[in-house]
């Protein structure tokens, strides 16, 4: 969070740890600040924050901790925010199943991955059993 100073433009790239509930709160605040800095509407901000929150929680709970990396990106005239949620945890054996509405291996609602996919413009999962998981999302203004 040291990379984001209140009132200043957020750093265009950065990384923060995701190891516990407090980090998830920090992550939400960081994504709020980044999207506000990009002049996302409140609805757009909320979509990205909600998706980030779900993915950060998965990183903590299922991935055994990891990090969020962010990049402010430009595609032609469109500015956007890309977020990577990374861990070196157990990985996801069946990604299609994990993306199914309502499917959970734990005690969740099974709506985190599927829900966040619907809230963003770009969504990808890269996961290897025994190596870890990276979920990448982006929203464009």
Ligand X SMILES: Nc1ncnc2c1ncn2[C@@H]1O[C@H](COP(=O)(O)OP(=O)(O)O)[C@@H](O)[C@H]1O
- Rounded to the nearest 5°, which phi and psi values hold at 62? -95, -30
d(CA 125, CA 141): 22
| Residue 102 sits in the site that holds ligand X (CB under 6 A) | no
Scanning 3-11, 26-34, 44-52, 56-64 for contacts with ligand X by CB under 6 A, the matching segment is 56-64
- Give residues 10-49 in contact with ligand X (rule: CB under 6 A): none
User: Which one among 62, 81, 138, 139 touches ligand X, defined by CB under 6 A?
Assistant: 62
- List, in order, residues 6 or more apart from 14 with CB less than 8 Å away: 3, 4, 30, 69, 70
| Residue 108 sits in the site that holds ligand X (CB under 6 A) | yes
Among residues 136, 27, 43, 33, the alpha carbon closest in space to that of 82 is found at 136
| Residue 86 sits in the site that holds ligand X (CB under 6 A) | no
| Residue 112 sits in the site that holds ligand X (CB under 6 A) | yes
Angle (CA) 80-48-33 rounded to 5° is 75
Q: Which residues bind ligand X (CB under 6 A)?
A: 54, 58-59, 62-63, 87, 89-92, 98, 103-106, 108-114, 133
């Amino acid at each position: 969070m040291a990379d984001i100073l209140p009132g200043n433009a957020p750093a265009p790239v950065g990384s923060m740890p995701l190891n516990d509930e407090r980090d998830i709160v920090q992550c939400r605040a960081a994504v709020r600040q980044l999207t506000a800095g990009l002049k996302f509407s409140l609805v757009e901000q909320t979509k990205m924050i909600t998706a980030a929150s779900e993915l950060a929680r998965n990183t903590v709970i299922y991935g055994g901790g990891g990090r969020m990396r962010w990049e402010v990106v430009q595609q032609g005239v469109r500015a956007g925010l890309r977020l990577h949620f990374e861990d070196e945890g157990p990985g996801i054996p069946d990604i299609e199943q994990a993306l199914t509405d309502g499917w959970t291996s734990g005690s969740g609602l099974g709506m985190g991955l599927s829900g966040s996919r619907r809230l963003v413009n770009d969504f990808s999962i890269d996961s290897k059993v025994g190596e870890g998981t990276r979920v990448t999302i982006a929203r464009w203004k």
